[in-house]
Structure 1
Amino acid sequence: MEMTRDDISALARGCAVLGTGGGGDVRAGALAAVRAIDAHGPVPLIELSDLDDDALVVPLSGIGAPTVSHEMIHGEDEPLRIAEEIERIFGRRPSAVMSSEIGGSNGVAPVAWAAQLGLPLLDADGMGRAFPEVQMVSMYVAGLPADLVIMSDVVGNVTTIRPMDGLWSERIARAVCVAMGSSALMADYVLTAAQARGAVIEGTVTRALTVGRSTEHTREPLEALRRTLQAIRLITGKLTDVERRTTGGFVRGTARIEGTGADKGRTLTLELQNENLVAVEDGRVRAMVPDLITVVDTEAATAVQTEGLRYGQRVSVLAWPCDPLWRTPRGLETAGPRAFGYDLDYVPIEELSA
């Protein structure tokens, strides 16, 4: 299969939904992907089984605060500089690009980066959604060493980090990101295809395309999206309050939705850290990370990123189960509610909604 410009719109819609509010605004990534395909041609979409064991896979993503990346978009040289640094370190070129996270612009922009590098895109990622911190990837949960991070910014700086472990990779990469203006391109967990087997979440680009296409040619896009995701609708209503701040390379805050129609009289509060992490109604948790929580426009069923939340928007909130990897003990230790500072024991969305 090849990714063409005709696929980008559906991919962007799907990645926005899977981004759970984070991963960056998909519009910039979609424009970059279309531009790169027009300049360099379609991008082959390959499976992990298509690669030799020693083939180098490069997970790429933007790191930083979505409110910043929305205004300071990536240039065309960052992926080239990172690829050059990888070739200098390993003595050979990468064989494929992979999205570190399929959510938001970080799920769409890798099409552009792959086209610019003349490489195929791997139908996989490291999250199955979006998460805000560097160590919150399936490779870390699988126990692979996080011993190399390469970052580049729009100015031309290239920083190579040799961290002791995944937690140190987050601390150091975040500090570098803040110095770069809270927005940079990052390659983390550069790995061989042999290492990637069982350590990445496969089929997620195809999944994003399916999610994006589910709302096409239907009179009830919200219900079509809910069915495709097998999601729970937590509330439909109006955004009445948004508190948002950019600090330490993250967007943090809360959003409150007051129910309308059949949900009149109800209020749902979302806790944000780049992504929607916890949904609370009347003191009762309705959904929590690592399960996915996404805010969508009620009429069009298009996702609304955390940096795009505005007073008065008519929205619905959907929640659905995460990849089983995140429900393992190490997965919950890495990206469960306590990893974000919430004094909550994880309860799956299926149990909370029962």
Structure 2
Amino acid sequence: MKYLTEESIENIATGAAVLGTGGGGDPYIGKLLAKEAIKKYGPVKVITMDELDDEALVVPVSGMGAPTVTIEKLSTEEEIIKPVNKLEEILGKKVDVIIPIEIGGTNSLVPVVAAAKKGVPILDADAIGRAFPEAQMVTFYLEGYDSSPVTIADEKGNCAVIYPINGIWSERLARALTVEMGGKMTICDYSLSGEQVKKAAIKGTLTLAEEIGSILNLMKDSKEAIDSMIDKLDGFKLFEAKVIDIKRKLSGGFTKGFVEFKGINNDESKYSILFQNEYLIAKKNKKTICTTPDLISILDYETGKAVTTDKLKYGMRVICVSFPCNDKWRTKKGIETAGPKYFGYEEEYVPVEKLYNKFIEEE
């Protein structure tokens, strides 16, 4: 994949929705934005980490806010590009490469708009390997990099610059601005050198999203496609069920809630998933079967396509799958930053493969 085409955008949107674990914004919106930008400004070149110059200025571009808000408040080109331009003004240099901050939903494709508009390549990598709800939940923070300066813009034309002392304060200050800006905005943080990015980023994730999307989009049998995807990601099928209850609320710039399921196909078990923008903990009959930072994804039973937290509906039939997270999240700092206890849950983090084996043994 040397250049992004409309076909690759279609596949990336589908694959990123799976890796986005329910969050990262509506992939359909991101797909429309990216396709329009390519039509307007031309193809966007994709470069690998091996092709990245050590001296290059690499800038992440992403949306921040609650997925439920993004359905009604669409991003504009001005909102996406304004933080990049402001960052260039502050740093006194031009951006060389754009990188997605996370590989999930809209946030995999919003950077394409910025790259197309600026005429620069996009890096085949990201800083999470999935989606997470808070700004410090990135491998750049795990590596100890400075997030400052941070530039922010909304669809009204407002633009702000903050100089947080670390990634945690970047989240706190930017989240407060997000709420004031109506629940969503665009942000640039962790502007880094190519050398720094090579040390911390997770490589090949745009290509991975495209490959997953290709499997789900091209294979006619959705069950076969899901099985193929699970094999590719060393993942697990947790359950097949229908939604029997769902509670969502907008709180502090996040979409928070839970969804409950009842098993289908002769499975009488009860399942539940807790979420904060992204799916965080999955349970079977109140026993944990997967927990953050490992990935939990809900797929439509008929199509195999991922269902984001804002699209879940009563009666929907789904297949829940899980995948191991990148090893960077299984470190002590990674678990402290994005493990279940950070989100206020009592569970200890246990790798999904261990939980799954225990789950199978108890069947």
The aligned amino acid for 1:322 is C
Q: 1:297 aligns with which of 297, 300, 311?
A: 300
Q: Aligned residue for 1:190?
A: 191
Q: Write the deviation string for residues 248-275 of structure 1: whole angstroms up to 9, x where unpaired.
A: 000000001111004x201110001000
Conserved in 2, the CA contact under 8 Å of 1:218 and 1:224? Answer: no
The aligned amino acid for 1:286 is I
- 1:6 deviates by 1.7
Is 1:344 aligned to 2:347, yes or no?
yes
Q: Write the deviation string for residues 270-295 of structure 1: whole angstroms up to 9, x where unpaired.
A: 00100000001122100000000000
The aligned amino acid for 1:225 is M
1:335 and 1:46 map into 2 onto residues whose CA distance is 29
TM-score of the superposed pair, with normalisation by structure 2: 0.95
Runs of 4 or more, structure 1, over 6 Å off, are none
The aligned amino acid for 1:237 is A
Conserved in 2, the CA contact under 8 Å of 1:252 and 1:273? Answer: yes
Secondary structure at the aligned position of 2:196 is classed as: helix
Is 1:217 aligned to 2:219, yes or no?
yes
1:321 and 1:80 map into 2 onto residues whose CA distance is 34
Q: Aligned residue for 2:360?
A: none
- 1:320 deviates by 1.1
2:288 and 2:84 map into 1 onto residues whose CA distance is 44
Q: 1:313 aligns with which of 297, 311, 316?
A: 316
Q: 2:274 aligns with which of 271, 274, 277?
A: 271
TM-score of the superposed pair, with normalisation by structure 1: 0.98
2:310 and 2:202 map into 1 onto residues whose CA distance is 27
Q: Aligned residue for 2:230?
A: 226
Secondary structure at the aligned position of 1:24 is classed as: coil
Q: Write the deviation string for residues 9-34 of structure 1: whole angstroms up to 9, x where unpaired.
A: 11100000000000000011101111
- 1:161 deviates by 0.7
- 1:194 deviates by 1.4
Q: Write the deviation string for residues 313-341 of structure 1: whole angstroms up to 9, x where unpaired.
A: 11010011000000001111111111111
Q: 1:235 aligns with which of 239, 244, 247?
A: 239
Structure 1 residue runs without a partner (length 5+): none
Structure 2 residue runs without a partner (length 5+): 358-363
Q: Write the deviation string for residues 51-87 of structure 1: whole angstroms up to 9, x where unpaired.
A: 3222111111100000001110110112332222122
* Identical counterparts, % of pairs: 42
**Superposed CA RMSD:** 1.1
Q: Aligned residue for 1:285?
A: 288
Conserved in 2, the CA contact under 8 Å of 1:149 and 1:186? Answer: yes
2:192 and 2:260 map into 1 onto residues whose CA distance is 41
Equivalent positions of 1:131-142 (< 5 A) are 131-142=132-143
Secondary structure at the aligned position of 2:77 is classed as: coil
The aligned amino acid for 1:23 is G
Conserved in 1, the CA contact under 8 Å of 2:61 and 2:84? Answer: no
Equivalent positions of 1:1-354 (< 5 A) are 1-215=2-216, 216-219=218-221, 220-262=224-266, 264-354=267-357
